Amino acid sequence: MLLAFIIVPQFLLTGEPERTFWRPVRDEVYLQEVGAQAPTSEPIVTLAMHEGVLYAGSKDGLLRLNGRALEKVPVCKAAVKRLKRIGADLWVFTDTGLARYRNGEWTPVAEGKFMDVCEHRGEIYAAAERGVYRLVDGLLQEIHFAGPPPPATSVHLSPIIRIASHAETLYLLCENGLLLLDGSVLNAEDVADWGELAHGKPRDLLSQGERLYIATGRGLNVLRGMAFSHLTGKEGLCYEDTTCLAEGFDGDIWTGTSRGAIRMTGGEFHYFAGKRWLPDDAVNAIACDGHTVYIATDGGLGIIEYQPYTLQKKAAFYEQHLETWGQKRLGFVHILLWDNKEEAWIREVSDNDAGWTCDYLAAMCFKYAVTRDETARKNAVEAFRAIKWCEEITPIPGFPARSIWAKGEPGHKAQHGSGGLPAEWHEAADTRFEWKGDTSSDETDAHFFAAAIFHDLVAEGPEKDRAKEHIARIAGHIVDNGWVLRDMDGQPTRWARWDPAYFDSPGGAYARGLNGLGVLSYMRTAAAITGDPKFEDAYRRLIDMGYAEYVLRQKHTFPPNMITRFDDRLAFFLYYNLLRYETDPRLRSIYRRSLDRSWEVKRIEQTPWFNFIYGALTGNDCEVLPAVRHLREWPLDLVSYSFANKHRADLATPPGYTAYAGGSRAISPRERGPMRWSDCTLELNGGAGGRVVEDPSSFLDAYWMGRYYGFILPPDTTDEKLLAVEPDTTLRGAAPYIGPNPWL
C-alpha cells in the first residue's frame, strides 16, 4: 500500500497537517465509456455479432450495422425476433421458422416457432415452446422425453423460453420455472437443494462459469451449484425489471431492463439510461464485441465503446473541449445553450461568469504548479485578468461585476437578477460593454478563493502586485462600507451583506454561519496577502462581534427549506483560505470543528473537490478512492441530458454514511452527467434535456488540486496516447468570439 507521507505544498503557509491519514491513488489507465447511437423508427428486438459485423432483428427483418446506421439484409424479409451466434453460424429466429446464416448464405433449418438454440457437449440443441431438438446432419430431431413426468409437472409443461448449457448439463427455462434435461428425462427436483426461483416472469438465461443467471421481472436469480440466490436492489441491482442478459468483454455481465442497461463488474453495478446513452430506455437485447457494447432498444441502438484513458488525458480532453466548443471568451468560461431560432449553440453570459471562471482559474494555477506548463500559466493569467476586469469595469472601487457583456455579441445575456428581480445591467465607461450589478457574496467568495491561489502559485512580479491589489480593493470596499457591497444606488446589494444588522434581522439570521465565515475568510486572506494592518484590525473587530461563533454550524441540515446545497461550494472556498492563513489556536479550533462538521454532512456525496479540500486542510482520510472513481466516471460528452433515478431499486444509503441533510446516496456522473460543484450528487432526477453544454472547469479544478496535493499520483505510463489528446481545431459548439477586446 502507498501511504501519503508527502511534502506539504510550499504555499500552505500555516496550519499544515502534522500527519496524513489518507492514501493516494495512482492515475492509472482505466476504460472510459464513449457513447453513440443509431436511432430507428421501429424497435430493435435482438442483436448478435457475426463475422465481425453486428446484426439486429426487427419487424422489418434482418439488419446489419454499417457505420452508425442499420441497413437491411435482403436474404431475410420476415420479422426477426431472436439472433444467436454459435461458432461460424448466425441462427435467425422468425415467426415462421429457424434458419442459419453463414458467409452470406441463408439456409432454412426448420419451420415453426422456435425460442432458442445453444451448443451443449459439442452438439446444437434448439428449443421450441413445447419441445427440445438436437441438430443431426443439418436436421432437427425432436428429443422424446422418457419416463413418468416429474412431480413438478406444471413446470415442464409450461412454454420453454430459453435453454443453456451449464455445468455440462442442459437447462431449460420455462415460464413456470427451471428444469434440467437428464438424458431424455426432464428433471425439476435436482435443480436446487437450497433456495428457490424468485417470483417474477422469467425472460432470459445465461451461463458464466459456476453461475447460471436468470433474468426475471423481479431481479436476477443466480444458480450456483445447487443453491439459488437473488440479486435485487438490496444487493445493488439498479433496476429489477430485467429483460435480457449478455456476457461482456472482461468477465462482466450485462443486464437489460425495461428502464436501461446495467453492467455488473467487480462487484459494482453501472447503470446506463436516458438519452446520454440510449435512444430509448426499454432494452431488448445486448451484444458485445471487443470493448464495444451494443444495446437494442425500442428506439434504436445504443453503442458504448470503452477506450483506454487516464485522468490526465481526460483533463486534456476537457481543456481542448473548452476551445473547440467555443466555451472561452475574454478570459471567462461559459456554458452553452441551444438556440432554437438559430439552430446553433450559443454562449451564456450568465449571472455569475466571474464566479464560475474562478474554478477554471484555480484549476490552471494548480496545473501550473504541478507541471510548469506555460500554456497553463497563460490560461491562469488570462482568467485572472478577466476576474480583475470585473472590478475595474465598475465605477465603484472594490465593487466587482457579476458578468460582462459586449454590446451586440451573439449569445444569451442573463436577464434574471437577485431575489426574482430583473437583471441590473449597466453601461461601462467606454460604452462597448455592459456589466451586471447587484453582486452577491457568492462572487465575492470565488474572487478571494481564486485570487489567493493565483497570487501564491502563479503570479510573478507585477502580477503578484495586481493580485494583492485586487484582494485589497474588494476587502477595502467591504470594510469601508460597513460590511456590505454597496451598489450604484448607494444601497447594499441583495445578497452581499455581512453586517450585524443583517444577521440580526429575520431575513438574514439564516446567513450568519456562511456569511460570517465569508467575511472572516476575506479579512484573514487580505491581511495575510497584503500585510495591511487595516485588514488585521477589521478581522479582530469581527471576532470581537462574535462572528467566529457563527461559523461552527454554518452548514444547515434542517429545516429542509434552509438547505441550499450550492452554498456548500461557497463554504469550502472560504474554509480553504481561512484555515490556510489562520494561526490562532482558539480560532483554528472553531474553524476546524466547523469544517469537520460540514465535511461529515458532505461526505456521503463523494464529490472529489470537497474531499480534496478537506484532506488538504486536515490531513485526515478524505476518501480519495471514491473521489478518483467519481472523476473517472465523468462522461466525455458534456451535453446535459435529462436523467432520472428516482425509480431505481438501489437507493439505500450505503453502510458507513448518514444522510444528515436528506437524500439517500450519491449518483455517479455516469448516471447523471457532468456537474459543477454547486450541484449535488444526491439529486436523483434533473438535467437540461440536451439543451446545455456544461463547463468542465469543476473537473479540472478537482483533478489538478488532487495532483497538487498528492491525492492523485501521476500516471506511470509514458505512452503519449494515454496522457494527451490529438490536436483538434474543429469548431463544434458556439462560434468564436469576435467582439471588442478591452486589452487591445
**Tens digit of each residue's pLDDT (9 = 90 or more) over 380-436:** 999 999 999 999 999 999 999 999 999 999 999 999 888 788 899 999 999 999 999
Q: What pLDDT score does 3 carry? A: 36
Instruction: Judge if 231 and 317 occupy the same domain.
Output: no
CATH (domain of 366): 1.50.10.20
Give the alpha-carbon dihedral of 466, 471, 476, 482, to 10 degrees: 160
**Quick check: is 445 in a domain?**
yes
pLDDT in tens, 361-386: 999 999 999 999 999 999 999 999 99
What's residue 290's pLDDT?
A: 95
Q: Are 464 and 426 in contact (CB under 8 A)?
A: no
Shared domain check, 340 and 229: no
Is residue 65 situated within a structural domain? no
Instruction: Please give the single-letter amino acid code of residue 166.
Output: H
pTM: 0.95
Alpha helix stretches (DSSP H) within 545-607: 547-551, 566-581, 585-602
pLDDT tens figures, 560-576? 777 788 899 999 999 99
CA separation, residue 544 to residues 88, 454, 587, 692 (Å): 83, 31, 12, 47
* pLDDT of the residue at 556: 86
Q: Please indicate, yes or no, whether residues 315 and 450 belong to a single structural domain of this protein.
A: yes
**For residues 692 and 638, what is the distance between their CA atoms, to the nearest angstrom?**
8
282 is a domain residue:
no
Same domain? 386 vs 467: yes
Give me the mean pLDDT over the 480-484 stretch.
Answer: 99
- Residue 246 domain-assigned (yes or no): no
Q: What is the pLDDT of residues 80-115, one digit of tens each?
A: 999 999 999 999 999 999 999 999 999 999 999 999
Residue 7 pLDDT: 38
Mean pLDDT confidence for 284-308 = 99
Q: What's 144's domain CATH number? A: 2.130.10.10
Distance CA 396, CA 425 (A): 14
Q: Residue 130's beta-bridge partner residues?
A: none
pLDDT, residue 145, reads 84
C-alpha cell at 669: 456522473
| Segment 584-613 mean pLDDT | 98
414 lies in some domain: no
Same domain, 709 and 605: yes
Answer yes or no: do 498 and 401 share one domain. yes
The residue out of 203, 220, 237 marking a domain boundary is 237
Strands 344-349 and 336-339: antiparallel
Confidence at 15, pLDDT banded by 50, 70, 90: low
User: Of 459, 482, 481, which is closest to residue 469 (Cα–Cα)?
Assistant: 459
Q: Which residue has the higher pLDDT, 647 or 11?
A: 647
Q: Which of 237, 256, 273 is the last residue of a domain?
A: 237
Helix (H, G, I), strand (E, B) or coil at 317: helix
233 and 317 together in one domain: no
Q: Quick one: how many helices (H) and strands (E) in the chain?
A: 16, 41
595 falls within a domain: yes
129-171 pLDDT, tens digit per residue, is: 989 999 999 999 999 987 555 554 444 458 999 999 999 999 9
pLDDT band at 463 (very low <50, low <70, confident <90, very high): very high
- Are 333 and 196 members of one domain? no
Q: Domain boundary residue among 208, 237, 266? A: 237
* pLDDT computed for residue 18 by the predictor: 84
Q: Which residue has the cell 428425462?
A: 185
Q: CB count, 10 Å around CB of 564?
A: 12
Same domain, 231 and 338: no
Burial 15-39 (b: 16+ CB within 10 A, else e): beeeebebebbebebbebbbbebbe
Given a cut of 70, whether residue 5 has pLDDT beyond it is: no
CA distance to 554, 607, 693, per residue, from 614 (Å): 16, 11, 29
483 and 595 co-located in one domain: yes
Residue 80 lies in a domain: no
**pLDDT of amino acid 2:** 34
Q: Are 656 and 57 in contact (CB under 8 A)?
A: no
For residues 113 and 94, what is the distance between their CA atoms, to the nearest angstrom? 8
* 606 φ/ψ sector (left φ>0, alpha ψ -120 to 50, else beta): left
What's the domain count of the chain?
Answer: 2
Residue 557 is predicted with a pLDDT of 86
Query: Looking at the structure, do residues 222 and 316 belong to the same domain, yes or no?
Result: no
Decide if 665 is inside a domain.
yes
- Judged against a pLDDT cut of 80, whether residue 280 lies above it is answered with yes
DSSP string, 324-349: HTT-EETTEE--EEEETTTTEEEEEE
pLDDT tens digit string along 232-263? 999 999 999 999 999 999 999 999 999 999 99
Q: Does residue 227 sit in the same domain as residue 341?
A: no
| Domain enclosing residue 187, as ranges | 113-237
pLDDT in the model for residue 701: 99
What number of other Cβ atoms are within 10 A of residue 656's Cβ? Answer: 8
Mean pLDDT over residues 602-621, rounded?
Answer: 98
Check residue 166 and give its pLDDT. 98
pLDDT-based confidence at residue 1 (cuts at 50, 70, 90)? very low
> How many Cβ atoms are within 10 Å of 339's Cβ, its own excluded?
15
